[in-house]
Structure 1
């Protein structure tokens, strides 16, 4: 039972969990004293017969703040699979009146979470996907794609708004509200960003909202026969819309036009790369 528990929990175990699977306090102490177990924090141990992975590090950090601690922010985003790399500092949320000292490698926010905003994932309490996406997306501009990835999965825009309203006043709440507002009617927002970039960079020879092959395109360079289409957040593209966009793109391409597609995130996160691509395409 002990080995199975350790396998499922990345080699991390608490004193209480050890007792629940049949070990005595003396047995736990012997393992620590012999070096078989490493003490990560008071009452939290790691078994030294395996690599200390990022999953073990995150789990140990959260468990070191007690049974009510919840992984949140970028730590929760990584645990949910929304980001590729685990954060250096493990962010977690603990009850407002909880205990626990600050320690290296941990960022603690004290807030009482609603039941619906906490889930258990692979044996660890983490913020639910909608709240995780909101909190992680505002941890620096490079993390805005986290919200998009969450909404490509089972989360919905309505769930994100609900999570936001339940947690007003949290760190990053104003920035999250701006992202959510941008998500409503995002295509028009992205189109305005694109035309603004073209004007500010001095690129000429284009027109917005041009009809080609029976379709209205966002921007067209008639001289270079280049069309630019902008997409909103990924969650706006259901299967039917995805298929329609591809059919539309094929019709335009068969008439001799090169089609460039950019997303809201491309335009806001990588505008210089977008402009370089457009310049390369229209260069004669």
Structure 2
């Protein structure tokens, strides 16, 4: 994942410090935006709202969504305004949600919002409206905005023809900051969307990205073992017809990097039948998930423990064995 992109500055001091008025507090918290419904709920009359619009104190952005003139226009306000305009139950989705979570470099020119099927807002320039009842597990909140959670947002963005899907998925899966969704989280989010428009194509994209991630992880793991002074490992070992990508033959230990979500789902020594063959031949399997390389010292400690049979000590963790 990239660093959180630079975004418009916080509200000006004259707006930020004028907190006696609850409505202005709402405006400051919403990147300078307010809806007509919010203004009426905070005690303004329709005439008072119209006078502020006529005096250009409030500037229309969308129907019934206004920007305070003291707050400069910006990307955050543009994206938030689309969700405010879409109304009750609207959720920021796709590439715009990816950007809002800090997983993208720039906000997309067109903002996608998802609304419940029972609602059908009319289209607006710069806003795409999807009618879909989202799984609650895929909806979250960030900076005061309802939006798709990171895994769902990334998959929605990958389905957008204007997005470079392979590059997005590779970048997200390669991120080691702990903020981006993991391969397992993406797979679970995809499972919840099965049957939705474009889900099959996204599944193929995700499978390809997972295979590329596994290949990069194996390369990184070999580099980690070399740098950590761990010896005795070999690549491309075959045991009773089962190919192993990385193994310690003397210790009869296979190290597996799975493809996709969860252990033992892909190449290397993955698959129940492979584990059965390995067990019959006296081999053990240690699974290293790509996300675990965020903590390389822990990975080395686990492998040393598996090789020696000695506890890893403080900071170490038990070996995850698949067989």
Q: Please, what TM-score do these two structures have when normalized by structure 1? A: 0.65
**1:13 counterpart SS class:** strand
Runs of 4+ displaced beyond 6 Å: 244-247
The yes-or-no answer on 1:238 pairing with 2:238 is: no
The yes-or-no answer on 1:147 pairing with 2:157 is: no
Structure 2 gap segments, 5+ residues each: 1-21, 220-225, 237-256, 261-288, 302-323
Q: Deviations over 1:151-173 (max 9, x none)?
A: 83264433322221221233431
Q: What pairs with 1:214-233 in structure 2 (closer than 5 Å)?
A: 214-216=232-234
Contact (CA 8 Å) 2:103, 2:180: kept in 1 or not? no
Aligned partner of 1:134 in structure 2 is: 155
Q: Deviations over 1:216-269 (max 9, x none)?
A: 479xxxxxxxxxxx9x99x7142575237899xxxxxxxxxxxxxxxxxxxxxx
Aligned-pair CA distance for 1:2: 2.0
Aligned partner of 1:163 in structure 2 is: 189
Aligned partner of 1:99 in structure 2 is: 120
Aligned-pair CA distance for 1:184: 5.5
Residue of 32, 43, 52 corresponding to 1:31: 52
Determine the C-alpha separation between the residues in 2 that align with 1:74 and 1:213.
44
Q: Tell me how many residue pairs correspond in the alignment.
A: 221
Structure 1 gap segments, 5+ residues each: 194-209, 219-229, 248-284
CA pair 188-102 structure 1, distance change in 2 beyond 3 A: closer
Q: Deviations over 1:57-112 (max 9, x none)?
A: 00111211212211100000011111021111111112223121111111222211
Determine the C-alpha separation between the residues in 1 that align with 2:137 and 2:168.
24
Aligned-pair CA distance for 1:186: 5.3
Determine the C-alpha separation between the residues in 2 that align with 1:104 and 1:39.
14
Q: Please, what TM-score do these two structures have when normalized by structure 2? A: 0.58
Contact (CA 8 Å) 1:82, 1:150: kept in 2 or not? no
The yes-or-no answer on 1:68 pairing with 2:97 is: no
Determine the C-alpha separation between the residues in 1 that align with 2:294 and 2:186.
23
Determine the C-alpha separation between the residues in 1 that align with 2:51 and 2:292.
57
Structure number having the greater helix percentage = 1
Aligned-pair CA distance for 1:11: 0.5
Q: Which moved more, 1:34-43 or 1:136-145?
A: 136-145
Aligned partner of 1:81 in structure 2 is: 102
CA pair 90-146 structure 1, distance change in 2 beyond 3 A: farther
Determine the C-alpha separation between the residues in 2 that align with 1:45 and 1:97.
26
CA pair 244-115 structure 1, distance change in 2 beyond 3 A: closer
**2:128 counterpart SS class:** strand
CA pair 145-82 structure 1, distance change in 2 beyond 3 A: farther
CA RMSD of aligned residues (A): 3.7
Aligned partner of 1:14 in structure 2 is: 35
Contact (CA 8 Å) 1:133, 1:150: kept in 2 or not? no
CA pair 8-22 structure 1, distance change in 2 beyond 3 A: same
Aligned partner of 1:121 in structure 2 is: 142
Determine the C-alpha separation between the residues in 2 that align with 1:120 and 1:240.
26
